[in-house]
Structure 1
Amino acid sequence: MLDAAFFRRWMAAAAAAVDREAGRLTELDSAIGDADHGANLQRGFAAVTAVLDKEEPGTPGAVLALAGRQLISTVGGASGPLYGTLLRATGKALGEAAEVDREQLAGALGAGVAAVGRLGGAVAGDKTMLDALLPSAEALHESFAAAREAAEAGALATAPLRARKGRASYLGERSIGHQDPGATSAALLMGALEGAAG
């Protein structure tokens, strides 16, 4: 079973992964975005770990809700509201339970991913973080490793796509051939989830 401590570990692992890969995220974003994705997420997840250390919420849902609120309030650009919505909606779907299992988390993550789609008006194939998150939430029903693998494959599969949403969509054909930074950071988040599961 997954308790609040597990979800705090997940957020700490995500912060470490973003820290490690911030340069690569910014490099990807400089090709088709504003070149700030890495730095924005770095700042956001550092704030998340700080607030979780201070407040220590007692349930999985509360951990994710607090993390989501923190991302929305500290991260500029589109990534703060999108990741914040993902975590808040997932936390809300988990409810007040003190512990959840992987199957419950998969269902809740699916609700979080759907909330991101509504907020951004994006669907699969639009070259966004959803291209990693949609298959990953589905694969989480199978295992944590399958969720990471699906997210990584989804991120890689954004390279040949033409962007239809977000900043990259302004580039039209020129967005083809570049891996989406949002899908790449989403894959880091799902890799951190597997890491937290041990």
Structure 2
Amino acid sequence: MELLNIVKKVSDEIIKNKEYLTDLDREIGDGDHGVNLARGFEKISEELPKMEGMKPADVFMKMTMLLMSNVGGASGALYSTALMKGGAVLKKYSEVTPEVMVETWDEMIKGIQMRGKAVKGEKTMLDTQIPAFEEFKKSVEEGKSLKESFELASEKAKLGMESTKDIIATKGRASYLGERSIGHIDPGSMSSYIIIKTISDELNK
């Protein structure tokens, strides 16, 4: 099942980048982003064989539970909320079309905004997610394929992630640093970029 292959690859990439994400977080946050996320995705990776034959909505819900119970800190709450909201959308459909993906991703972002009480431009994962989603939505509406839409979204995700270097943090532990948070990439925006780029790479294989 393609979804499970993508989840496996995303898990591998997060685990592989554990130290890097933790180093980014050490500069402006609690220093646990990579360690926490990797713990959650290690669990997801272990449980993947049990997800064979599951509907996409159920895969999302299973991942939600695994992240909730294994990832501490804000990242666990944000990513699991996103998956829970996305799973609720997928439940309504028998087929995952590009249009369904647009609705799913939109709800996931709303979940992150609701949970994190953040908007774009505050040096968070939303600075990666929102530009990527907007590009994805536009591409799907223009009739581009899922692969092409994700590829274009991935490019915008990269620009969004890089933009966090120039933003003063106003959310989370990084906000205590004020102007000293400038010059550092937000770890949540980087993990979001890794996830989006990995999905795009897998679809384009």
**Aligned partner of residue 99 in structure 1, secondary structure:** coil
Q: How do residues 1-198 of structure 1 correspond to structure 2 at under 5 angstroms?
A: 5-56=1-52, 58-141=54-137, 142=139, 143-197=149-203, 198=205
Q: Is the 1:21–1:38 Cα contact (8 Å) retained in structure 2? A: yes
Q: CA RMSD in A?
A: 1.4
Q: Shift of residue 44 of structure 1?
A: 0.6
Q: Is the 1:60–1:99 Cα contact (8 Å) retained in structure 2? A: no
Q: Is the 2:128–2:157 Cα contact (8 Å) retained in structure 1? A: yes
* Structure-1 separation of matches of 2:16 and 2:72: 20
Q: Is the 2:51–2:59 Cα contact (8 Å) retained in structure 1? A: no
Q: Is the 1:148–1:190 Cα contact (8 Å) retained in structure 2? A: yes
* Structure-2 separation of matches of 1:188 and 1:81: 18
* Structure-2 separation of matches of 1:7 and 1:98: 15
Q: Shift of residue 149 of structure 1?
A: 1.2
Q: Shift of residue 103 of structure 1?
A: 2.4
Q: Aligned partner of 1:150: which letter?
A: K
Q: Is the 2:109–2:126 Cα contact (8 Å) retained in structure 1? A: yes
Mean Cα deviation higher: 86-95 or 158-167: 86-95
* Structure-1 separation of matches of 2:53 and 2:43: 15
Q: Shift of residue 116 of structure 1?
A: 0.6
* Structure-1 separation of matches of 2:135 and 2:8: 22
Q: Is the 2:8–2:48 Cα contact (8 Å) retained in structure 1? A: no
* Structure-1 separation of matches of 2:93 and 2:107: 16
Count of residue pairs brought into register by the alignment: 194
